[in-house]
Amino acid sequence: MKEISCKLLVIGAGPGGYVCAIRAGQLGVDTVIVEAGKPGGTCLNVGCIPSKAMIHAAEEFEAVSHMAGGTSPLGISVAAPVLDLGKTVAWKDGIVSRLTSGVAGLLKKAKVKTVYGWATFRDGKTVAVETETGTQIIRAETVVIATGSASVELPFLPFGGPVISSTEALALSEVPKKLAVVGGGYIGLELGMAFAKMGAAVTVVEALPRVLAQYDAELTRPVVKRLGQLGVEVMLGAKAKGVKGDALLVETSDGKSAKIAADQILVTVGRKPVTEGWGLDQIDLDMAGKFIKIDDQCRTSMRGIYAIGDVTGEPMLAHRAMAQGEMVAEIVTGHKRSWDKRSIPAVCFTDPELVTAGLTPEEAKALGEIKIGQFPFAANGRAMTKLGEDGLVRVVARADNHLVLGIQAVGQGVSELAAAFGLALEMGARLEDIAGTIHAHPTQGEGFQEAALKALGHALHI
């Protein structure tokens, strides 16, 4: 067996892990990173990036389909479009390949040694990695666990055959004629809406009383409306029970049994931390439920071992993992850092998109009296020119000093406003700061300024 030693060992080359390793390498730390698959982890290879590529392809196909049907208000007519999903997937894979190669190059540039294989702890300072050429022993002064998360599998709907996870959904060679989606959260609706635009008959089965339950009803109303326009059938209060032949078995909200014909059954009921298979029992870390317990510096209960990203809990977002990874790399080199982020923006890439940053109105009310300012995109010129009037921007602030506590938006392309929302919260902006910032016209970002003006009592365009 080969043996190597290093100052820092990072287990997992997803967004958190590779950022941690790159930053440590930049700071001159002798760093090794271990990855069982390809650099970039779930997000880059089978999650965030490929799903957005497929969502964009679906949007383009739907837009051209409307033009072919003579229903486009833009006055554009074209021949009926044809979708070759195989070519779409190949295009998506090309983007992923370029990005994974880019991550590998950045690691190399930072002088990080990459070991491909599955790492298993032997003790708190030693791991054994099963590589293609044999077992590699790595001894490190400090270890960062960045093993990520995986799709939750239902015992009565095991993955295989017609039952697929988001990973398989992003690699289909043909659009299913009938698609059943189990779970009405962000993953299920993002992919379900995309396949509906590509021509699939989609049925969403959600056990809760409404879809996207983590968002308030006012924010999700435009998404629910769009689901209806796309012909997506939504079964609320319904529970998937299994699969029989080419049908999903469901218990409806009134307790009756139903069968949903489906060529594919996409299960999107959440993600779970990857805490098994890499020797957690050998190091006996304290846990917070199913997640690894960490403090405000991402330290675990064992000296010299840190954990970052999805394996440490919610919110399970790539940019949270990246921020934690960068922080830990600096802590390892002696910098004084701690996790004191005011906001971690979250984006749901449905149609229309959803963005949340900071506290919701209900969460803010629990802290005291608040002011809420809301501006509809129906009064925004840029939104109108993009056929995206259905949506809004909402700002939540303290009533006494006008400190902004939370910002939410729903609308076409609002994901790009997430940076402005996060920056405002991180810098401790007040309503007057946002209202007094000159926003370019015509842009959807003006809705942010107008929402702040509305909260102050003098919106200009409504």
Residue 436 has pLDDT above 90, yes or no: yes
pLDDT tens for 292-331 read 999 999 999 999 999 999 999 999 999 999 999 999 999 9
Q: What are the beta bridge partners of residue 154?
A: 157
User: Was 52 annotated as part of a binding site?
Assistant: yes
Residue 16 has pLDDT above 90, yes or no: yes
Q: What's the pLDDT at 71?
A: 84
Residue 171 has pLDDT above 80, yes or no: yes
Angle of helix 48-68 versus helix 85-109 axis, rounded to 10: 150
CATH 3.30.930.10: does it fit domain 2-46+89-151+272-332?
Answer: no
**Which residue of the set 66, 335, 402, 441 is catalytic?**
441
Identical fold between 2-46+89-151+272-332 and 163-269: yes
User: Was 189 annotated as part of a binding site?
Assistant: yes
Q: What's the pLDDT at 377?
A: 98
Q: What's the pLDDT at 47?
A: 95
Question: What amino acid occupies position 430?
Answer: R
pLDDT tens for 213-246 read 999 999 999 999 999 999 999 999 999 999 999 9
E strands present in 359-421 = 370-376, 392-398, 404-411
CA gap 405, 154 in Å, rounded:
37
State pTM to two decimals: 0.96
Q: What's the pLDDT at 70?
A: 84
User: Was 184 annotated as part of a binding site?
Assistant: yes
pLDDT tens for 156-170 read 999 999 999 999 999
CA 194, 411, 408, 19 dihedral sign is: positive
Question: What amino acid occupies position 441?
Answer: H
Residue 188 has pLDDT above 80, yes or no: yes
User: Was 107 annotated as part of a binding site?
Assistant: no
Residue 262 has pLDDT above 90, yes or no: yes
User: Was 316 annotated as part of a binding site?
Assistant: yes
Query: 163-269 maps to which CATH number?
Result: 3.50.50.60
Residue 1 has pLDDT above 80, yes or no: no
The b-or-e profile of 211-245 (16+ CB within 10 A means b, else e) is bbeebeeebbebbbebbeebebebbeebebbebee
Q: For the chain, give percent helix, strand, coil, nearest 5.
A: 35, 30, 40
Strand order in the sheet with 404-411: 346-348, 353-358, 404-411, 392-398, 370-376
Catalytic, 56? Answer no
Question: What amino acid occupies position 406?
Answer: G
Q: What is each CA distance from 266 to 169, 178, 206, 332, 370, in whole angstroms?
A: 7, 11, 12, 41, 41
Q: What's the pLDDT at 422?
A: 98
CA 159, 163, 166, 172 dihedral sign is: positive
Any idea where the domains of the chain sit in the sequence?
Answer: 2-46+89-151+272-332, 163-269, 346-456
User: Was 440 annotated as part of a binding site?
Assistant: no
Span 374-383, average pLDDT = 97
If pLDDT is split at 50, 70 and 90, which confidence band does 69 have? confident
Residue 378 has pLDDT above 90, yes or no: yes
Q: What is each CA distance from 184 to 143, 203, 347, in whole angstroms?
A: 37, 10, 15
The b-or-e profile of 143-171 (16+ CB within 10 A means b, else e) is bbbbbbbebeeeeebeeeebbbbbeebbe
User: Was 422 annotated as part of a binding site?
Assistant: no
User: Was 310 annotated as part of a binding site?
Assistant: yes
Q: What's the pLDDT at 315?
A: 96
Listed residue (193, 186, 171) closest to 89, CA to CA:
171
If pLDDT is split at 50, 70 and 90, which confidence band does 450 have? very high
Q: What's the pLDDT at 2?
A: 81
CATH 3.20.20.10: does it fit domain 346-456?
Answer: no
